[in-house]
Structure 1
Amino acid sequence: MELVLAMAIGVLAGSGIWLLLRPRTFQVIMGLSLISYAVNLFIFGMGRIKLAAPPVINTGLAADAGQYADPLPQALVLTAIVIAFATTALFLVVLLASRGLAGTDHVDGRETPL
């Protein structure tokens, strides 16, 4: 399971970096989204993935201290998803405004019309 998660994080991060280096703004936005997904998976993976473990045990016994899933990475990832959605929406609005004003969607300053 850890190997699959590590490969998924690597593929998402590598694809995101490749898209960030592309000359068009939509590809840059998609690259940022893929990198944010990779970071979310990384944070989620740092919470020690446990299969068939309840989220919280309320028995109060010290022996059950390691038998539950850590809710903090899940809360951090949920917050990061909301922030990434809002940031992507803002980037898309800026992309449309920039394309309307400049007549091109290149980020490298070239004056090639659409």
Structure 2
Amino acid sequence: MEALIAIAIGSLTAAGIYLMLRLRTFPVIIGLTMLSYAVNVFIFAAGRLVPGLPAIISPDAAGYTDPLPQALVLTAIVISFGMTAVIVLMALGAWLEAGHDKVDMDDADQEASK
């Protein structure tokens, strides 16, 4: 099971980094989302979640699950959703202004120097 989770985290990270290096805005947004998913799965895996055990300590329970990773991932999901919404709006504004979604700084530098 650990190998499967490690492969999933590695695949999500590799795909996210690859997409973030593209020259279009939409793949950059998808790559950032995949990278945040990889971090969330990593935090869950590092938290050693145990099925069937409560997150609140009680005297009749055999043990408990640490609730901190769950709280961290929930917070990360909310923050990444807000960040994705802002980036999508910025990309949409850039597309409406320029007419395309290509990210190429060389063309902008050449036009500015003329």
Q: TM over 0.5, yes or no?
A: yes
* Higher mean C-alpha deviation, range 41-50 or range 20-29: 41-50
Q: Would you identify which runs of 4 or more consecutive aligned residues in structure 1 move more than 3 Å?
A: none
- The structure that is helix-richer by fraction is 2
Matched residue count: 107
Q: 1:5 maps to which residue? A: 5
* Higher mean C-alpha deviation, range 72-81 or range 102-111: 102-111
1:1-114 map, 5 Å: 1-59=1-59, 67-109=63-105
* TM-score scaled by length of structure 2: 0.85
Structure 2 Cα separation of the partners of residues 39 and 30 of structure 1: 14
Note the aligned Cα RMSD (angstroms): 1.8
Deviations 1:55-86 (A, max 9, x none): 2231189xx5xx21110010000000000000
Percentage identity across paired residues of the two chains:
51
* TM-score scaled by length of structure 1: 0.85
Identify unmatched segments of 5+ residues in structure 2: 108-114
